[in-house]
Structure 1
């Protein structure tokens, strides 16, 4: 039972890290692999990098 929860948690953290990274203008695949390697620590790590999603050339 514990192993199943760990596997589900790992897959969920991979998906969430990928989606958050994609929303911030980064690669889904790269961040999903990073989450596969370092686990849930990738979730706060993705917020430490600058948001590339807002760069559309408009300078207020």
Structure 2
């Protein structure tokens, strides 16, 4: 059970960083944020997409 929790936490770090990168933010910064606050880092989805704004 503990191993599954650890794998889930590491997965959420990667996913939060990936989502942040695709929204025009830094992968590294959001991965570290996710490492400290866990799945709450998915708050990045609430922020505006910077790439969409730059491409118009």
TM-score, normalization by structure 2: 0.88
Structure 1 residue runs without a partner (length 5+): none
**Computing the radius of gyration over CA atoms, which structure comes out larger, 1 or 2?**
1
Task: Supply the distance in 2 between the matched residues of 1:21 and 1:49 (Cα, whole angstroms).
Answer: 9
Decide which structure has greater helix share: 2
RMSD: 1.2
TM-score, normalization by structure 1: 0.83
Task: Supply the distance in 2 between the matched residues of 1:17 and 1:50 (Cα, whole angstroms).
Answer: 15
Structure 2 residue runs without a partner (length 5+): none
Structure 1 segments of 4+ aligned residues over 4 angstroms from their partners: none
1:7-56 CA distances to partner (integer Å, 9 max, x unpaired)?
1011100000000000000000011011101111112x011111111122
Number of paired residues?
56
